[in-house]
Amino acid sequence: MQVTKTLDYAVRSLTYMGHQPIGKHSMKEISQEQHIPLSYLAKIMRRLVKKGLVRSSLGPDGGYTLRKSPNEINLRDIYEAIEGEIRMVECMDKDSICVLYDTCPQLPVWDKIQLSMVKILEDTTLADMLKERKNITMNQVN
């Protein structure tokens, strides 16, 4: 029931890129700025490319660019790109079989929690998170 480091890395990378949504950002740059192991970051970025969240280009001056603007990328997209489909319990999987499924008293609870979680993730965009950061910075200044 915890956010994995991998997801954290992905969110941090994308948030970082969100500061210059048009610009291109190399793995090296992201790795250094966000303190993420380069070779591990490589793996994560591949998923983000494959899922269509970022575009990549090779060669010198290559790197990554956001495919959509920060207010069009929500946390659910990122979550699912990294972790796959969201589900609180195994038995919510389509392929799973549980004899107790039909009368399971806990299922409604986990389902409720999952729904509220998905909603919050969906309602939160990269832009929101960038705003969040600015607010805090402003508070510090004042």
Partner DNA sequence: ATATTATGGAGTCACAAAGTCCACAATATA
Partner DNA sequence: TATATTGTGGACTTTGTGACTCCATAATAT
Give the span between the Cα atoms of 65 and 49, in whole angstroms. Answer: 10
- Indicate which of a copy of itself, DNA, none lies near residue 50 (CB less than 5 to 8 Å, by partner kind): DNA
Query: Is residue 79 close enough to count as binding DNA by CB under 7 A?
Result: no
Instruction: Kindly state whether residue 21 participates in binding a copy of itself, applying the rule CB under 8 A.
Output: no
Residue 27 binds DNA, judged by CB under 7 A: yes
Q: Name the token pair of 124.
A: 């939160």
103 contacts a copy of itself (rule: CB under 8 A):
yes
Least distance from a copy of itself to the Cβ atom of residue 76, Å: 11
Q: Which of 79, 60, 67 is nearest to 11 (CA)?
A: 79
17-20 CB contacts, 8 Å cutoff, 24+ apart: 17/54, 17/64, 17/65, 17/66, 18/66, 18/70, 18/126, 18/127, 18/129, 18/130, 19/130
Using rule CB under 8 A, residue 127 touches a copy of itself: no
> How many whole angstroms separate alpha carbon 28 and alpha carbon 39?
10
Chain contacts with a copy of itself (rule: CB under 8 A): 1-4, 8, 11-12, 15, 75, 83, 86-90, 102-103, 105-106, 108-110, 112-113, 116-117, 120-121, 124, 129-130, 132-133, 136-137, 140
Chain contacts with DNA (rule: CB under 7 A): 4-6, 9, 26-28, 37-40, 42-43, 45-46, 49-50, 56-64
